[in-house]
C-alpha cells in the first residue's frame, strides 16, 4: 500500500547502494557530496573498498 512506512537497517555495500538511489529520488547527485576545495580528503567514519 502507498504511504506505509518501511524501516530497513542496512550495512556495507547494500547501505551505500540504497543511499545512492535515495539521493537520486531527492534530487541529490554524487558530486553534490564532494568538497570542491578538497575533493580527495578523507571522509570521517568511511570505509574504503579495495578494488580487485
Is 2 a catalytic site residue?
Answer: no
DSSP state letters, the chain? -TT--------HHHHHHHHHHHHHHTT--GGGGS-TT-TTPPPTT--PPPP-
From 2, 21, 36, 52, active-site residue: 21
Residues annotated as catalytic are 21
Amino acid at each position: 500500500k502507498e504511504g506505509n512506512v518501511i524501516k530497513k537497517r542496512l550495512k556495507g555495500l547494500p547501505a551505500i547502494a540504497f543511499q545512492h538511489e535515495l539521493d537520486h529520488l531527492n534530487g541529490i547527485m554524487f558530486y553534490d557530496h564532494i568538497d570542491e576545495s578538497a575533493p580527495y580528503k578523507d571522509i570521517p567514519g568511511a570505509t574504503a573498498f579495495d578494488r580487485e
